[in-house]
Structure formats: structure tokens, C-alpha cells
């Protein structure tokens, strides 16, 4: 390893350890993230302008926009009406309430929305519902996030409908065209795991969630109350209708954007936020209070350290080590495990797109060398690089969940270790049985 790799590893470990022990010393995740960004900027591992750009990424802008849009929706009477309906339908059952939000998240995450966009819509609504029901948000938020992250893009619609074409493009790019992925192959490979994730989230995961938030919840999930707890006067009928309409229109535009090509997802979210301010549904102060700055800082830290790992070659080093460790094995389950477990671990630590970019050429070239079918390993790699829920570094959904549910890093590990083992075992056994490496 080079000196740059060691430096990158040291900064990364500082961030991870800081997230774990910081709360004990009353040091928030936002402070740790801020220091991490500063260390990366002074380290020389990436250009300073790249670090600066991490504060205005598409993900960060989209999160800001969606939280303002969600605050506008929560400023209406919709949350109270929805909560009353949910309570009536569920009979006050926590499991039924959670199940409803979980299934809603699964549906949106498979209709074309990204996991982060889906959770940015569902998470604040669920947190507001918890407030109405007097339920601890720490019991509900992470199970919903798990499904939004781990079961996204499974159905052959939306993004899931073009996965096969994307993978075939990579196979062609690296000159291994002996095998081709079919439209329904990703669905066949991931649907069993998705069902298990949904059932686990509803019936098992709440038992591993903390009873009460481990760290203070700083996000304002509903703008319906003042700091002293008194109710804010309801909106006028016109503004009430605008609050509903802007939220629904923004969500529909995000869902059908892949077909209509309206614009970037962050543009749509930001436009919705601007309309809420322009129409007076939200005041500027309410909009500013809705911006999750701690999440923005944690995303900037994750992007910065992830970029550093890519630039200095630390991620590639791990990937090459994996490829060399396979040798000449002809056991399909070993091949599948190699291209699931290691990327699964890495995607908890760095951007999932970076993990995919690192391992995809290694996977294809390794399979070509072994003369085995790459379809199963490609499906496993896609699933592994998308299923990140144990640290705030890999996906924007996790920092959102941490603030909405009041979780610290220890909570994430406690809640995440069992589903990680289950997902790994089921995915490898199922996919490599359905898509064997050697026919």
C-alpha cells in the first residue's frame, strides 16, 4: 500500500470511529462529518474543488428539495387525516401501520424512484405519523429504510426494466458476449430476497431497534407545531389545496420522469420547494428549518472519503485482491459469494456506484477467464452494491434515517448485522442456483 492509501485509510477510520464514539462525548455526527471533510480537503487525496462540489451534489440538492416539499405537505392537515385513517384501518396496531409504510416504500422504490428519493418522501411522513400516534420513531424508521434500500429496482418496471440492457452493454464493452442477460433475469434473481427483506422489516427488525432515540432528533418532520408545542393555525383552504397539489405533482413527476424526461430529479424536487415558498404554503423560516444540514454534511463527508478511496486506488486494490484470491475455482457458489460479500461490505463504506464501477470489469474479466456464465454474479453484484444500510457512507437514505430515528452508528450495526447475514446467504444460494456459473 502507498502512503496515500494509508492516509486515506486513517481518515476513513477516524470517521467511522467518530460516528461510533462521538455521541458519548456529545460530539454529533455532523461535527465528525465536518472534520472529515476538512481532513480530506487538506490531505491532497482529491482536488479541493472536488471536495467543494460534494456540498452541491445531485443527491444533496434532491434531499434538501424533498425535505422542504415534505415539510409543505406536513404543514397541511394531511398528516392528521392520514394518521386518523391509518389508525382506523390498523386498529391501532403498530405492525399494521409499519406494514403499510413498508409496502408503500417498496412500491415507490420500484416505480422509478431511487431509494433515497423514496425514503425522502416516506420517511418524514412516517415520522410525523409516529408523532401523531405517540410511537417512538426509532422503532419505525429503520425498517422502512431497509426496504427502500434493499428491495429497490426489483420489479421489471421503471429502473428495473432497463437493468438487463445496462448489464449487456457492460458485457459487450469488455468483449464477453457469450452470454446475455434477459429482461426478467434481475427480477428472478432478487424477488425472493426482496420478499424476505419486507417480512423481516415488518415482523423482526423492530425488535432490534432501540426503544427510544439514542441521539437527539434534530429534523423538523412536521411544521404544524411551534417550539412551545402549541398548534400553528391551519392554512387557508387555497394554500391547503396547494400544499396537497404541489406534493402530489412533485412525486408524480419523479415517478414518471424516466419516461417523460422532464429534467433531473433534483430539479423537480427543488422546483416543488420553490413553488411552496412562492405560494406561501411555507414561510422562508419553515423551509430553512426543514433543511437537514447534518445529513448534507454527512453526505459531503461520504462523497469526499469515497472519492479519495477511488482516487488513491484503495478500492481497486481491494477488488484486485479479491480477483486474485479466486484462482481457478469452478465452484459457482464460491464465485457468487466472492462477488457479493466483498462488494456488500465495501458498499457500506463507500459510494455504491463506485463499488459497481470497481467490480464490474473485474467480474466480467474474471468470468471470461474462468469461462463461466457471468449473469448470476452480475445480478449479485448489483444487489450487493445497492444494499447498504449499516453506515451513513454508502447511500443518502441512511443519514436521513439516522436523523429521523435518532440512531447512532452502534444502532446501525445492531439493527443491520442479522439482515446482512440473511441477505448474503439467501442471495448467493438462490441466485447461483437459478443462474449457475457452469451449465
pLDDT in tens, 277-314: 999 999 999 899 888 787 788 778 877 887 887 788 87
Percent of the chain with pLDDT over 70: 90
Exposure on the CB side of residue 285, measured as CA atoms within 13 A: 3
- Among 292, 282, 219, which Cα is nearest to 73's? 282
Mean pLDDT of 137-143: 96
Residue 356 above 60 pLDDT?
A: yes
Mean pLDDT of 147-168: 83
Residue 229 above 60 pLDDT?
A: no
Residue pair 309/8 in contact by the 8 Å Cβ criterion: yes
pTM of the shown model: 0.74
pLDDT at residue 310 in the model: 76
Mean pLDDT of 73-90: 74
Phi, psi of 34 (to 5 degrees): -65, -45
Strand ranges in 283-410 using DSSP code E only, listed in sequence order: none
Mean pLDDT of 227-256: 82
pLDDT in tens, 3-39: 999 999 899 889 878 877 887 788 887 898 899 999 9
Query: In the predicted model, what is the mean pLDDT of the chain?
Result: 85
Residue pair 280/57 in contact by the 8 Å Cβ criterion: no
Confidence of residue 315 (pLDDT cuts 50, 70, 90): low
Higher pLDDT, 204 or 295: 204
Mean pLDDT of 368-384: 91
Confidence of residue 120 (pLDDT cuts 50, 70, 90): confident
Distance CA 195, CA 327 (A): 34
Distance CA 233, CA 226 (A): 10
Amino acid at each position: 500500500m502507498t502512503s496515500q492509501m494509508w492516509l486515506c485509510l486513517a481518515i476513513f477510520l477516524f470517521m467511522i470511529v467518530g460516528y461510533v464514539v462521538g455521541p458519548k462525548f456529545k460530539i454529533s455526527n455532523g461535527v465528525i462529518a465536518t472534520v472529515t471533510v476538512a481532513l480530506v480537503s487538506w490531505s491532497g487525496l482529491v482536488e479541493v474543488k472536488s471536495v467543494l462540489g460534494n456540498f452541491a451534489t445531485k443527491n444533496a440538492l434532491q434531499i434538501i428539495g424533498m425535505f422542504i416539499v415534505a415539510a409543505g405537505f406536513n404543514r397541511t392537515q394531511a398528516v392528521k387525516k392520514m394518521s386518523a385513517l391509518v389508525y382506523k384501518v390498523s386498529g391501532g396496531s403498530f405492525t399494521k401501520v409499519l406494514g403499510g409504510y413498508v409496502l408503500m416504500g417498496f412500491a415507490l422504490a420500484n416505480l422509478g424512484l431511487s431509494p433515497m428519493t423514496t425514503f425522502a418522501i416516506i420517511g418524514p411522513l412516517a415520522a410525523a405519523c409516529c408523532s401523531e400516534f405517540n410511537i417512538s420513531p426509532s422503532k419505525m424508521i429503520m425498517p422502512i429504510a431497509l426496504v427502500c434500500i434493499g428491495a429497490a429496482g426489483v420489479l421489471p418496471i421503471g429502473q428495473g426494466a432497463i437493468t438487463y440492457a445496462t448489464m449487456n452493454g457492460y458485457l459487450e464493452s469488455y468483449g464477453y458476449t457469450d452470454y446475455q442477460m434477459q429482461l426478467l433475469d434481475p427480477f428472478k434473481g432478487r424477488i425472493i430476497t426482496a420478499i424476505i427483506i419486507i417480512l423481516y422489516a415488518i415482523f423482526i427488525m423492530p425488535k432490534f431497534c432501540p426503544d427510544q432515540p439514542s441521539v437527539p432528533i434534530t429534523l423538523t418532520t412536521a411544521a404544524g407545531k411551534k417550539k412551545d408545542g402549541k398548534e400553528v393555525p391551519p392554512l387557508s383552504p387555497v394554500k391547503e389545496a396547494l400544499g396537497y397539489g404541489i406534493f402530489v405533482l412533485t412525486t408524480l413527476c419523479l415517478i414518471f420522469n424516466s419516461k417523460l424526461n422532464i429534467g433531473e430529479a433534483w430539479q423537480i424536487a427543488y422546483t416543488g420547494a420553490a413553488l411552496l415558498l412562492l405560494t406561501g404554503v411555507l414561510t422562508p423560516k419553515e423551509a430553512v428549518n426543514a433543511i437537514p444540514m447534518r445529513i448534507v454534511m454527512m453526505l459531503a463527508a461520504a462523497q469526499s472519503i469515497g472519492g479519495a478511496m477511488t482516487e488513491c486506488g484503495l478500492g481497486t486494490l481491494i477488488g484486485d485482491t479479491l480477483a486474485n484470491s479466486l484462482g481457478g475455482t469452478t465452484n459457482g457458489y464460491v464465485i457468487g459469494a466472492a462477488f457479493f460479500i466483498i462488494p456488500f461490505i465495501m458498499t457500506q463504506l463507500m459510494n455504491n456506484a463506485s463499488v459497481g464501477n470497481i467490480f464490474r470489469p473485474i467480474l466480467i474479466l474474471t468470468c471470461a477467464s474462468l469461462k463461466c456464465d457471468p449473469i448470476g454474479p452480475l445480478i449479485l453484484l448489483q444487489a450487493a452494491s445497492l444494499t447498504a444500510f449499516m453506515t451513513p457512507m454508502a447511500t443518502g437514505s441512511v443519514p436521513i434515517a439516522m436523523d429521523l430515528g435518532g440512531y447512532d452508528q452502534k444502532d446501525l450495526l445492531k439493527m443491520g448485522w442479522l439482515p446482512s447475514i440473511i441477505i448474503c446467504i439467501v442471495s448467493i444460494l438462490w441466485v447461483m442456483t437459478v443462474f449457475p456459473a457452469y451449465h
